[in-house]
Amino acid sequence: MIVMDGLSKHFGPVRAVDGLTLAVDKGEVLGFLGPNGAGKTTTMRMLAGFLEPSGGRAAICGFDVATDSIAAKRRLGYLPEGAPLYGDMTCAAFLAFVAEIRGYRGAARRQRLAEIVDTVALGEVLERPIDTLSKGYKRRVGLAQAMLHDPPVLILDEPTDGLDPNQKHHVRELIRGMGKEKAIIVSTHILEEVESVCTRAVVIAQGRIAADGTAESLLARLPRHNAVRLVVPAGAADAAAMVLGEVASPQAVERLPAADGLVTFYVLAHEGAAPLAAVAHGLHAHSIEVDSLGVERGRLDDVFRALTAQEETAPEGASPEGASPEGAGSGHA
């Protein structure tokens, strides 16, 4: 339902987005990851019709965002970065305005407004000016605005940014609930969010796709993914090393230097599977004292850092003039 084909955006010499090709289908919640200035916001702005692509094309439900933009915008709910809102309006007046723009009239409008207010729990603050609301409520007004016309495609730029843990949980529940019958793109810095909400994760760096897969498949890129992590007292270390040498090839065993009287071993996964049973059996057979034993999943943060490390050494995308032509994107991104 969302298709990008060689989508590019250049700001002068800066290639903020450089040939993205990606398709998102109904039922998918795509987590869009990347360091600041990688081109996430720029990509989303092009999909939403706010920026015109410099090259390639993008379509929402088959409608090209550049040539058929009104039809595309009708099928799209968009939460811009930072959720800008008309601050001097009350929530009720603002949502009524959005409903009118989205073509709701009379009784249908009242009913839809009541539903959306209920969905995002805005009932208490309806008559208050948006400027006086807390950040959490403002973000919810932004979400209400994006979801009001029940669009088949949602593009949410950092929907949980600045929310407290309870509010984050609420928003994630909302997104997960909608994910089954919509195509959704969510950009985020919070990697746990990808695991809890998204069915698929795309990492972009320097305007290009660095990785595309499920959270699990991204984790599989880590060398220690599914490795068995064994911690034993320093006195039992040599015995343990011998046991590990029996159950795994020497290259698969890593021994870390002793710390606080404990020695940590990693036994790397063999063809994706953790050799936990073999290790446990061997340790038990030799009665070796064990401090802890478990399977290492690895953290998405590490994958993210590995994929985008190059980015961090480049001038970070704070100011456009600081970015080299191949550099970190731009201040607009």
Half-sphere exposure of 120 (CA within 13 A, CB side): 26
- According to CB under 8 A, which residues from 53 to 92 bind another protein? 70-71, 73-74, 76, 78, 80, 82, 84-89
Q: Least distance to another protein from the beta carbon of 114, Å?
A: 19
Strands (E), 214-291: 227-233, 253-255, 262-267
- According to CB under 8 A, which residues from 20 to 49 bind another protein? 45, 48-49
Q: Least distance to another protein from the beta carbon of 72, Å?
A: 9
Nearer to another protein, 9 or 170 (CB): 9
Q: Least distance to another protein from the beta carbon of 233, Å?
A: 58
- According to CB under 8 A, which residues from 135 to 154 bind another protein? 145
Nearer to another protein, 101 or 259 (CB): 101
The single residue listed with the structure tokens 């698929």 is 200
Instruction: Out of 26, 57, 102, 189, point to the residue binding another protein (CB under 8 A).
Output: 102
The single residue listed with the structure tokens 């409520």 is 137
Nearer to another protein, 83 or 198 (CB): 83
Q: Least distance to another protein from the beta carbon of 88, Å?
A: 4
Q: How many residues bind another protein (CB under 8 A)?
A: 30
Say whether 42 sits in a helix, a strand or coil: helix
Q: Tell me, what DSSP letter sits at residue 288? A: -
Instruction: Out of 12, 55, 62, 103, point to the residue binding another protein (CB under 8 A).
Output: 103
Residues in contact with 284: Cβ distance below 8 Å, sequence separation at least 6, in sequence order: none
Give DSSP secondary structure letters for 15-30: EEEEEEEEEE-TT-EE
Give DSSP secondary structure letters for 93-136: HHHHHHHHHTT--HHHHHHHHHHHHHHTT-GGGTTSBGGGS-HH
Q: Of the listed pieces 97-105, 108-116, 181-189, 296-304, which binds another protein according to CB under 8 A?
A: 97-105
Q: Least distance to another protein from the beta carbon of 146, Å?
A: 10
Per DSSP, what are the bridge partners of residue 138?
A: none
Q: Of the listed pieces 99-107, 176-184, 227-235, 264-272, which binds another protein according to CB under 8 A?
A: 99-107
Q: Least distance to another protein from the beta carbon of 173, Å?
A: 24
Q: Least distance to another protein from the beta carbon of 52, Å?
A: 8
The answer to whether 215 touches 247, Cβ cutoff 8 Å, is: no
Provide the greatest CA pair distance for the chain. Answer: 79
Please report whether residue 98 would count as binding another protein according to CB under 8 A. yes
Report CA-CA distances (Å) from 315 to 39, 64, 205, 318, 321: 15, 34, 13, 8, 10
Q: Least distance to another protein from the beta carbon of 105, Å?
A: 9
Pairwise CA distance, residues 23 & 322, whole Å: 32
The contact set with another protein (CB under 8 A) reads 45, 48-52, 70-71, 73-74, 76, 78, 80, 82, 84-89, 93, 97-98, 100-103, 129, 145, 332
